[in-house]
Amino acid sequence: MNAQPAAVVAPEPPLAVLLELTHRCPLACPYCSNPLQLVGLRQELDTAQWQRVLEQAAELGVLQAHFSGGEPTLRKDLADLLRHARDHGLYCNLITSGVGVTRERLQELQRAGLDHLQLSLQDSRADGADRIAGYAGAHARKLALARWCGELELPLTLNAVIHRHNAERVGEMIELAVELGAGRLEVAHTQYYGWGLKNRAALLPTRAQFDAASAAVAAARERLRGRLTIDYVTPDYYARRPKPCMGGWAQRFVNITPEGKVLPCHAAETIDGLQFDSVLERGLGEIWRDSDAFNRYRGTAWMPDPCRGCEHRERDWGGCRCQALALSGRADTLDPVCEKSPDHAGLRALAERESQAPAPEFVYRRPGR
């Protein structure tokens, strides 16, 4: 009797879809993870096209819609999109710089269906925050928005991006999150993709800074247990094991660019040889299940040794493909963060060298509004 080929198991639906509504942004953050080549206003999906994306996401089984950018509040149709997402049963989260959002606009978005707001925080002090943002007065506007969330009883997460210029103030940022009434704080060391990779030498903290920041987070977690949830994203360049990037390639999240390309993660377009489908040409569910780009690194079959036999292979899913490419020159090899990678020692030496050298000036991103 001839053996039958193994059935292809369809992937579980993604938990969340990240909608990059626009690449336009009023800030000029040197750690920006958006791609070097930004999508222009005229290339952005229109309201009806984004609404179809939301419908297809709900049909696929997605539970959460994260509205991001750039700065998503620059889209005049944001309330319409939130309303449409809510009508299709999606939990709505807004990821924003907070600059330019008035209290009235926030109320409008909340009425339209906004469930939660994530606000970026560059520093605990105005001078440092505004310097990173490249925008005078940005910090004050962020604090005002955070306080309005409290007044309107809108759940708030603060996202504090950490680097060598603010690592000593992690404790202050934690206290600021408590003062502002945030329910969650993400303390995330800079991840070096896109524009952020250009500024790595200016941003990479020293090992001593990383250790001090980690200690501050550990102490605060214990002290604030039950009052503030603190997520901690460590800097890959000092780690021994890789993180499961986006929960694993094409495992839990799907990312859609302003012009409608569907990606497994926001940096995936840096990988040559992958063709990313557009929602203008193919359904979201079909892309998620059948796209070659999504299946290329999904699961464990693609893994080289020693990844394939590693006990962690279904925990970290091989780490980050984009980081492997940036640091090793190949997307299909071990993430150099892993101590089993032949490139691991070189990564640690690079981190030591760049973090100890005098920080160069920031290269600001000025994409315009």
In the chain, the amino acid numbered 154 is L
What are the b/e assignments for 154-191, b being 16+ CB within 10 Å?
A: bebbbbbbbbbbbbebbbebbebbeebebebbbbbbbb
CB 228 within 8 A of CB 185: yes
Query: Are β-strands 262-263 and 184-189 bridged in parallel, bridged antiparallel, or unpaired?
Result: unpaired
Give the number of other CB atoms < 10 A from CB of residue 360.
12
Is 25 one of the annotated binding-site residues? yes
Edge to edge, the sheet with strand 262-263 lists 229-233, 184-189, 156-162, 116-121, 91-96, 64-68, 16-20, 253-256, 262-263
CA distance 13 to 109: 27
CB 228 within 8 A of CB 178: yes
Number of residues assigned to the chain: 369
CB 280 within 8 A of CB 273: no
Give the number of other CB atoms < 10 A from CB of residue 37.
9
What are the b/e assignments for 301-325, b being 16+ CB within 10 Å?
A: ebbeeebeebeeeeebbbbbbbbbb
Is 32 one of the annotated binding-site residues? yes
Query: Are β-strands 229-233 and 262-263 bridged in parallel, bridged antiparallel, or unpaired?
Result: unpaired
Structural tokens at position 168: 């000593």
How far, in Å, are 8, 66, 109, 137, 224 from residue 72 at the CA level? 38, 10, 12, 19, 32
Helix or strand or coil: residue 345? helix
**What DSSP element (H or E) covers 217?**
helix 207-223
For the annotated binding site, the residues are 25, 29, 32
Q: Residues annotated in the binding site for [4Fe-4S] cluster, as ranges?
A: 25, 29, 32
